Structure formats: structure tokens, C-alpha cells
Structure 1
């Protein structure tokens, strides 16, 4: 067995048995005469050693910061850059007024049965008041994501559909909460809201648009206007990336438990007295940083195939939207796409292969999926087809992109099972068109029930049908 699989197997076995080899920790502040360092740590004087130091620090910073930088780039486009076509500013919703269709621009692998809205919150000067209207049983989620992709929700699952008013505040805010308002605390002063409202069909869109306008954000204070924002960057621009990460650390912060983790990055310009430009003026540091970023990018791209646990040819998420200290997994998930919710809210399976492990290919085969029962969800479920090359919805004459619990006239077998087909010549309510080429499926359950969460229910593998 490969070393990585041995490690994974050992971790799974330890979790299953309830035996954890957790390191012991202690609170040094409670010890007599324990003193913290007051001087800066050393940066190696010898050139080769300095490059090695920078390479390790850069790899660590790139892996830790990938999701933060990706999210920051989104913030910059919608809330900072007034020249952007996406600009609306902080603490305001930008609503998508139509269901996603082929060519949907904001992101890949979109839902095709919800309308999206985005807002970026600036809570640095105080809370924001959120009004949620009654949705009359219609599913919605106001999904909060911090700069590190950790998710929380005000949703039909967590708060029902009667509506309410919520004061969105950071954990260190200490003001008073108005009568009739519920306090909802978030981790950071800069947050992303990705809101989804169920639209069971195109006919429901006008009603959902009206609901979108009734979700209202009201700042309780004026923004400071004193914050400067670095330009967007990616892993291919290490200096730009580190400038953003430094901004995130200074303005968004990190968990108390992570202060020690980020401390070594001070020597490459993050979280300390030395700027990124000053650090990178040293050729040895610059060489090491570039190598470290190259390492991180290579590892992330090779990790993409490990996104989720294999199940009957599908991959199911683990700890998505709640990453803890799993920085490699966090970077991998968010490189595929930011905005992943916790699976208590949205349990999503994906599959790229059939029962024989061969890639799904509409040019070669038709496919059948026989589910022992409809996916157990409190709100709704759907299975959506995506082009394997573009990660977008598949153009077709019927403009049909999914099948699910909201599909009109969906046929359920007498034993409660559901048979679905995926074919270029799809016919009937239980069939969805696929492209002439590679494709993949995403099965989503909004408000998954216990039998999905505990593993009792899992999707079956796709089987080939003769053309």
C-alpha cells in the first residue's frame, strides 16, 4: 500500500475506533514565570539556507491562503473596484435575476434550480442588520462564508421560513441588540454572503425575484474609508498573493490557535514589520518564495482527485465548509470552486465515472441510474448535468439541465425506487440530455435527512445502456 494510503487508512481506523492520537496541549500563560519572546525570530544569514527558509514559509502561506486570496479577489470585484462591471459596494446585495443557463459567468458548476445573490459585508466599524422576509415555505439560505471558506447559515433549515431580523456582528462586538432582533455572530469583519432561493421552475422566477428584493442589508455605522486594498492576484503572482494574505491577516484576522502557525511568515512579508516588497528585494527570499509557490500549486492540482470520499463511483464531501486546520483540503476544495456550504445544509455528491470506473461520455454511451429511493431531503433534491470540459451546464434543445424532486411528472417506481436516464436523445420526465463528449453529474440534497447524513442512503453507480 502507498504511504499516503497507509496514512489515510490509519486516520480512518483511528476515527472509527474512537482512538485519537491527539497531541497534548497546555496554557502557558498559567505557568509561573513563563515569558514570551520579545525579539523577532532569526532569518538565516547564509543565502542557501535563507532560500530554503523562504521556500518552506511560502509553501505554507500559499496553502493556507489560497481560499482567502480567491475570496478576496471576488470582494475586490464587487465591493472595491468601482471600474468593475460587478461593482455594487459593501453591505449591498447583487442579485442574479435568472436561473443559471449554459455560459453562466460568475462561477462553475452552478445550481440550476435556485436564484443566487451575493453580498460582501464590512463589519469593521459595526454590525449590519439583515431582514429576512417570510418565504411561505420556499427554501432559502443566507450562507455566510468567512475569508477562509468556513460556512454558517440563516436558512429555512436553521430558522424556518417565517422571516425575521438579524444583527450580523463579529465575535468581539459588545453593543446592545435592538428589541425583536436576533444576534448572529460571525468570525470575521469581512464576510461573503452567498444567498440561494429555490426556484422550482422558470415559472417561479418572478416570485423569487420579488423575494430577493425583500432580503435587506442595513449597516448600523458608516464605513471607515481608511482601508487600502491590494490588487487582485493568484498563485502565479507570489508577491501579489502575499500582499493580499498580509491584508487578510491584518484586517480579517486568524483564529487565536493559528497565531503560532502564521508567525514564520513574517520573514516573507506577512503579518510582521517587514513588507512583502522589502522581503522580496532579497534574491534568496524571492527565489525561495517562487519555488514554494510552485510546490503549492503542483500539490493542489494533484490533490484535486482526492476531493471527497469514493462511494459507488460518486464522491461525497467530508468536512466541506468546516475545515478546521485541514489547510490542504481547504485549498483543494476552494480551488475547484469557492462557496461550498456545510453538508448539513447541502449534501452534494459528484460523479465523473460509471460503474466500471470509465469516464462518463455521451458520445459513446447512454446511462441509467437506479436509486433505491428518492434522495432523502427536507426541502428538495436534484441531479444536474455538467460539461466535462467547461464545467458548465449543457446546451440542449429542451433547455433541460437537471432532474429532481421538483421535476413535473417525475415517475417513481412502485417499490419507491427512481430510475433516471442520461442520454443525448433524452426523452421523458426522468431523462436529462448530456453532451457529445465527457460530462459529470452533481446530486444535491438541500436539508439532507438523517439517513443521508449517517450513510444509510447513498446513490447507486451509473450503468451503461446500449446506444
Structure 2
């Protein structure tokens, strides 16, 4: 017998009996096959597991029911939310339509941005300023997949869901806290035709509950995937992936009970999948991802459409990149209309192309007149969790809505990142944590023409020179 030394990894140890692998070494090949499938299934399932885990947190940690809303108001409320902005509140919940049946969402008039999506994080409908109500409010009827809307919809806008589980969420854009709270309190969620018999929509606070929306690691990742698979419909485009899941012990209407071998392979596959996801997100190799050729800023999402479909293919790696580092996607995030929606850029490295390190000091120069009709912000995230940085300062962002933000004489702004406050004071500083890497998002709310034509150009995150 000879060893197949021409192959990398464990396959290189397989002995060959002529042109066939030795039968005693077949388990090595099958272990590799299952491991490779697990790593690819991790990338495929990221958006689904992300929402399924967050839904679990809502129910089990916060005690939120299907007709409640969780209000992420304070900075600490949002610490577990993947790449949350630190400026506007989030209001959302995850709802199983097999429990509620056709569902009504009543949204008041006012400056809000939000929508409804399935658990693959595909848009079912945009609501608020970018939706058909254009901020004037309205009633939306969500019909489960395969269902038919009632003959008399009584003026509701009908949205047919592409999944049995949905996320409904929005952000209030009014800077006045009282008006913003009034908008939240006016939202109603109830089954169709049962407005008067359903308890009023309850606002739940995550305050006081340690929590994380980051996708779980190890075997728990697959447990979450198995659980949501039992409660979801089968999408035709996913049938080959579901065949691979079946080979790894995750099947419809069957318990998840992996033996020692499969548990080991699944745990290793999740770890390898996350390593691939980190490279895929933080070192994007998608054509057109770099916004300015001579800067380190990338478009955070390379998804072209909210249904995640490209020409002749679906955007698998683009989807994995975005949903590893973020949650939810809508057309509003890729606005092409000046003054509406949002635009997001990310920097994972400094001006020299090195990872951003928490024990180093950096400066970001924001030229005058950033192209944002509403406001702009720069936000720092922890690499491991992709969540807002949990620093002693209790602040992970600086932006135009900060009342004490210090401007230069020409209207530009210098922002500072590092473990210690700069000599100029704390007003323009975000504290980073020594021993941990971080990345930054720069958001434009209501991006203007000079963003789209790229005539306004943001500086790179520059490492401070040694004293």
C-alpha cells in the first residue's frame, strides 16, 4: 500500500490499495467529508441561526410573547445586538405565524425606518419612511406562507410571508425622546380581526438581563439550527443543503442526537466555518466592495437585493459576509435616492492595512459637510462578538448628534480611538480595550449626492505616531 501524500490535511494520510483507498481508511475520508459539509453549512445557515438564537433570547431571557415588542433604548440595552447603531433605539420582536395566524401590525405616523423579514433575513416588506406608507403610518396584514388573505382586508396593506417565522422591527428617527417614545407606545400587534380581544401590545425592556445575540458556537450552533428547521418551511433553493444537514443528523421531525464522532465533527466544522466567515467579512474580496480605491473603507453589505438573488446565482458568500457581522437587511440600507435611507461603510484595518488593535491609539479625520441629511455616526465594535464595544466609558460611537462634539475651524471633525483619552479631552474619543481587536462602521442617515458620486471622501483610521 502507498500513502496518498499529494493531498493536504487528513486525506494525505489515507493509504491506497492500488487505485482505491484502503477499506480500513474509509472512516478518515468520511470524517473529512462530513467536516467539510459542516463548515459549508455553517456559512449557509448564518442568517437563519442568527435570528433563531435571538428569538430564543426574546422568549427565554426577556419573556417576550408574540404580541410584545422589545425596546432596545439605552446603550447597555444594545450591547448584545450585532453591529447595532448607538444613536437610534431599536424596537422589534420575532413572531411565529404558525402560532398567531394572519397578523396585523399597526404603525403610527412619524419618522420611522423598519420592515418585516423572514428568518433568512429577506425582506417581506419595508415600512416607515422607505415603505409605501412613507412615514404616514398604516396597517399591515402579514399572511403566513401558503395562506390566502381574507376577502375583505379592511384597508390593510397585505404582505405574504416567505417564512413561517418573521422579524418585525423598526427604529425611531426623531431625536426628541418623548416623541420617539410616543411612536413606540402607539404600535399595535394582534391577530387579524381580533384587535379588541388581544391584550395591548406590551413593551419589554432588556434592561437587567445579560444577553448576547451573537450566533452560538460549538454544538449549540447546530442545536439552534435543528430547532428552527423543525418550525420552518422548506425553501426549494435549499434542498441540497438540507440533504447535507440530514447526513449530519439534522432532519425534519427527528430528534438531534449526535454521537461522539458527529459531535466532534460538528464542533470542529462550526469553528472552521466561523474562521472562514471572519475572513469573508473582515477581508472582503468581492468586486466593488472598496468604496474609494485609495481608502480602507468597504461597503458593509455586498447584497444587491433583499431577496439575496444575483444573476444566475444566489449571493451565498455575500450573504454570509453580511450576516456574520450584522443582522437584517433592507433596500433602505442600499438607498440610491439622495436624502432617503442609509449608507454604511466599514473599516476593519488602519490606513496601513493592519487589524485595528485595542491597545493602540488612532485618529479618524471626518472632512467638513459629511453627506448625511439627518445625521452621521462612527461606531466601534468588538471583533469577537460583532457587538458594540463594552468599555468602561459606556460609549461606543461619536457623531453629529453628540451635543459636545468638537469641530475644527473648517467644520471638519477629528475622532480618536484608543485605550486612553487624548490630550484634547473625551468629547471626540471612543475608548478601546487593550488585548482586543475592533472594527468601525461609518453611517450616513439620509446620504446625499456627494456620497453617491464619491466626491466627499472620508479619511482612513490612522495609527497615532509614537510620542
TM exceeding 0.5: yes
Deviation at 1:395, TM superposition (A): 5.0
What is aligned with 1:350?
Answer: 346
- 1:372-407 per-residue CA deviation (whole Å, 9 max, x = no partner) reads 642244x4332335577884265559x794222675
What is aligned with 1:187?
Answer: 162
What is aligned with 1:445?
Answer: 444
What is aligned with 1:126?
Answer: 101
1:236 to 192, 208, 218: 218
Q: Secondary structure of the equivalent of 1:187?
A: coil
Q: Is the 8 A contact 1:234 1:241 kept in 2?
A: yes
Q: Is the 8 A contact 2:381 2:396 kept in 1?
A: no
Deviation at 1:133, TM superposition (A): 0.7
Alignment partners' CA distance in 2, 1:61 and 1:252 = 17
Q: Is the 8 A contact 2:299 2:345 kept in 1?
A: yes
Q: Is the 8 A contact 1:129 1:165 kept in 2?
A: yes
Distance 1:395 1:412, change over 3 A: same
Alignment partners' CA distance in 2, 1:286 and 1:104 = 33
Q: Determine whether 1:91 maps to 2:67.
A: yes
Distance 1:461 1:233, change over 3 A: closer
What is aligned with 2:184?
Answer: 212
Q: Is the 8 A contact 1:61 1:262 kept in 2?
A: no
1:317 to 300, 304, 307: 300
Q: Is the 8 A contact 1:99 1:113 kept in 2?
A: no
Distance 1:259 1:456, change over 3 A: farther
Q: Mean Cα displacement is larger for which, 70-79 or 244-253?
A: 244-253
Deviation at 1:129, TM superposition (A): 0.7
Count of paired positions: 392
Report matched runs for 1:226-305 at 5 Å: 234-237=216-219, 240-272=220-252, 275-277=255-257, 280-281=258-259, 285=262, 288-305=265-282
TM-score scaled by length of structure 1:
0.70
- 1:256-303 per-residue CA deviation (whole Å, 9 max, x = no partner) reads 2222342333232334576432xx34x665555454334323322443
Deviation at 1:368, TM superposition (A): 4.7
Q: Is the 8 A contact 1:354 1:463 kept in 2?
A: yes
Alignment partners' CA distance in 2, 1:169 and 1:454 = 40
Report matched runs for 1:130-141 at 5 Å: 130-135=105-110, 138=111, 140-141=112-113
Query: Which runs of 5 or more structure 1 residues have no equivalent in the other structure?
Result: 1-44, 223-231
Alignment partners' CA distance in 2, 1:289 and 1:170 = 32
Alignment partners' CA distance in 1, 2:442 and 2:70 = 27
Report matched runs for 1:389-428 at 5 Å: 391-392=388-389, 396=393, 401-404=397-400, 418-422=412-416, 424-425=421-422
Deviation at 1:217, TM superposition (A): 0.8
Distance 1:294 1:353, change over 3 A: closer
Q: Secondary structure of the equivalent of 1:269?
A: coil
Q: Mean Cα displacement is larger for which, 211-220 or 293-302?
A: 293-302
Q: Secondary structure of the equivalent of 1:130?
A: strand
